[in-house]
Amino acid sequence: MARSLGFDLVGVARAEPAPEAAFYPEWLRRGYHGAMGYLEGRRGEMRSDPRTLLKAARSIVCVGQVYNAAAPYSTDPSTQGRGWVARYAWGEDYHLALKNKLYELVGAMRERAGEFRFKVCVDTSPLLERAHAHQAGLGWIGRNTCLINEGLGSWVFLGAVLVSLELEPDGPAPFRCGSCTRCIDACPTDALIPLAPGEGPSHALDSRRCISYQTIERRGAIPAEEREGLGRHVFGCDICQDVCPWNRPERAAVSRVPEYAPDGAGPNPAELDLAEAASLTQEEFEERFAHSPIERTRYQGFLRNVCVAMGNLGDESFRAPLERLAESEDPVVREHAAWALTKLATRERC
């Protein structure tokens, strides 16, 4: 039923704490969640046991849907010189599309099994989706902390349905990263932290160092000492997935879902002209990204990230748009534009 609705992966896990959940409190204690306060407190405690979301839950139906597009990776020379938007944001916001399909799946299940209790979860619910997807056999949690499927790679959106049905569970997928450390070696900000044997997964993500966190979750100013590490990234980062052997272009699956394609709802890297992006008014930003994950940065964060990307690329053609942004009414945008102009001046002297 799941596959007939367009899901590429499906499996079943028991509705109980996953082994990976044991490290979550320590992850929070170390501060790896940064300023994402919604990951701690009561909602943080709820993540340890899925039955806190649905007391009657007995099984978790875990699904995956490929979002990869047949287009260059951020590591390809052909993409250099422009701002980068993470692959998952090239199309429409996946939350609604994935959630609607999960409700369709519940309807199909009820036709077969009758009434049962359920709860649909897509990213925003306090559920450790990767952990349960691993237990359901959808893939393993790699050193880049992404769920990797042997046949499809890691360009996969995850969703889950907690159900009161007793379904036969699948088994966890084996770890297949071997001795490969390409993701760790390629991360420009050293965000992937090795863990001691038995402590949890092989690595943990320190969000505070992650480019995705800095460009999406962080509000206000980015610390000056951390801006160079962001490179040309305007929204999110794909580096640790781009270099993964399981995601090689010749083997990674390509999405069949039209909503996830770079169709104008969100720019792909070939379309994100930084100078043009710097000229967007707030109204234009909101109209252009109304159905895109990029909207999450808000207008201030978007222009802030554009300034940092232009400063790091150091192209003299960015001087005029940066000078305009340096006169912005927004103090955060002004600060980052001034920083970028200083970077251009430094390159001139060199």
pLDDT value at position 270? 56
pLDDT at 89: 92
Assign 235 to helix, strand or coil.
strand
Residue 348 pLDDT greater than 80, yes or no: no
Active site residue 330: no
Residues 228 and 312 in one domain: no
Residue 81: which pLDDT band, with cuts at 50, 70 and 90? confident
- Asked if 121 and 230 sit in the same domain, the reply is yes
Say if residue 179 is in the same domain as residue 207.
yes
How many separate domains does the chain show? 2
Mean pLDDT of 295-314: 97
| Confidence bin at 46 (pLDDT 50/70/90) | confident
| Tokens coding 262 | 């770079």
Check whether residue 144 and residue 33 sit in a common domain. yes
pLDDT beyond 50 at 265 = no
Per-residue pLDDT tens digits for 155-213: 999 999 999 999 999 999 999 999 999 999 999 999 999 998 877 788 999 999 999 99
Q: What is the pLDDT of residue 291?
A: 87
307 and 182 together in one domain: no
Residue 350 lies in a domain: no
> Amino acid letter at 149?
N
pLDDT at residue 117 is higher than 60: yes
Same domain, 261 and 326: no
Query: Among residues 219, 235, 270, which one ends one of the domains?
Result: 270
The answer on 65 and 12 residing in a single domain is yes
Give, to the nearest 10 degrees, the angle between helix 331-349 and helix 298-313: 0
Taking residues 266-290, report their average pLDDT.
Answer: 85
Entry pTM: 0.93
27 and 171 belong to one structural domain: yes
CATH of the domain at 284: 1.25.10
Query: What is the predicted pLDDT for the residue at 27?
Result: 93
**pLDDT class of 103 with cuts at 50, 70, 90:** very high
- Same domain for 278 and 156, yes or no, is no
- Whether 296 and 147 map to the same domain: the answer is no
Shared domain for 280 and 253, answered yes or no, is no
State percent of the chain over pLDDT 70: 96
Considering 123, 170, 315, 330, which one is annotated as catalytic?
A: 123
User: Does residue 222 form part of some domain?
Assistant: yes
Q: Which domain holds residue 337?
A: 273-345
Residues 239, 311, single domain; the answer is no
Asked whether residue 237 carries a pLDDT value surpassing 90, the answer given is yes
Per-residue pLDDT, averaged over 25-34, amounts to 94
Q: How far apart are CA 132 and CA 344, in angstroms?
A: 47
Show which of 270, 288, 311 is a domain's final residue: 270
